Structure 1
Amino acid sequence: MPRLNLDYLDTSNFELRTKARSLGFGRRLYYAEKQALWLKTQISNISDRLKLSTQAELGWQRELNFYQVYARSSELNFFLPHQIIQQPFKFDHDHFEHALILVDARAHFQVMPHQQSITQIRQHLLQAVEPLVCLQELGYIHADLKQEHFVNDQGRVYLLDFEHVQSIYQNGTYELNATPRYMAPELFQGQAKSLQSEVYALGVIFYEWLSGQRLQATDYLDWALLHCQRLKIALPEHLQVFQGLLEDMLRKQKPHRLTDFKAVRSYLMTEIE
């Protein structure tokens, strides 16, 4: 991607696109339509930054550190093309210390499955699994999988938002920072995130995309009852070939679930025709 000149960043016509309810977490997303780039920064005001929760501040720093450590490796295929700003700069009349600049990419799951053949759908799902396999092989889980965190740039799928990324070998560290819609049953019971809880989250993403329906619940307790007791998989007749995959990804008992993303990839490659 073309690198931006920081001397002219303040005149690049970026527009703030962060949702109002997200501003309190200390992250700013700006979008420049003509350049098709996202500028992701921390909160600008130091006094406001001091008011942020430790979790929010650590999330931004975790993501930035993760990019800095691994983004230069040509073997990793889960990072969207980007530029890291590692020096103080002025933008939109505010002063920032660090930032990520990301190319603008379309949502991977915006294409509807009813417009595709079984072969195309399988390939679409495989594309989503590949960056997760790469992340797994590096020894990490994303730990915040959502449909909107998968984007497609020039035919390749990438992941967004590594604020919760964690090592697979974190020895049972537990943080209640998951989104209830995608939470595996064991997370509601206080267990730590794992590869299998990630497989469950991906199963929810696949199910909602294939079925064309969003899971519904009213509050945290209702989500817990849904995932731990009530969830039943029902795909349209013409997509029944994916029923077994989803059932194996969404098993309520972790030992009965597909073990990791390599197992998901293997199922798609060997069991779906």
Structure 2
Amino acid sequence: MQRKITRDLHINIANKTMSYIYRYIDTAINIDELALSFSISKKHLHNIFKEQLGINIYESIKSIRLQKASNILLTNKYSSITQVANMCGYSSQSSFIKAFKNRFEVSPTQWRNGAYEAYSDKIMENSLLKDSLPNFDTSKVRIVKTQDRLIYYIRQKGYIVKEAKKKWQQLQAFAYTNDLKDYEQIGIYHDNPALTPHDKCFYIAALSSKKKIENTNIPSNTLKGGLYATFDLYAGDREAAWFVKWAYHKWLPTSGFETTTDSSFLIMHKNHFLEDNEIDATFYLPIKSV
């Protein structure tokens, strides 16, 4: 019993730490203060995070900053390199350029000017997505402002359909156990699958409900409201990932909007992980006025 309590506590700490990093990725994240908020030492926090997620906290922060930057460089064409660096938590342009070049083997300027295409092609080369030929209708794009949502969620590393199905089955059992009747099923995409190796991407399966549930080992958080472009999506799994690439790389740069460091998400009207059907969902892409 004690072992289970400890395990659940560690999962909760790791998840809250990761959520904190994503939410405040544009700031100087203070790990000492974060450890203090959990009433544990900094060393203990590092150990718990590494044990649960298999990566060092500082490496995780650095990776998320650079992943966000790699996307924003392509979508926010009116933002300078310094502005992109600041959006992703770098106070020094030179340190950002050095870190970016170490990760992607080209400078941010070269990346923005087309070098990203070779990097993306390499990621997609061995992907099941490579043979998909999607065709997306842009005529029904809507601009909406969302409210904060209370979510119960399970985090997954890697875009692996078989594992995602397990996560959704766990959430389905959670909904039945707690007698949830009216809830939304949301897939949250922290990474662009065209720019991040699929085994490194983080995906969140989440239920949004107004019902506050106490004493559960499923962590809860707030999905922050904001300004989004929405797209109705009817597609297979392969087309969905291509759609994310298309939305960021094709639609957004010519839309008159830019993106933010917030994550995109999918509200599923039918859950293709739990039912034998294709995706029937609405995709939410974070945007801001230029």
TM-score range, shorter chain: under 0.3
TM-score, normalised by the number of residues in structure 1: 0.27
Greater length-normalized contact order (CA 8 Å, ≥ 6 residues apart): 2
By percentage of residues, which structure has more strand?
2
TM-score, normalised by the number of residues in structure 2: 0.26
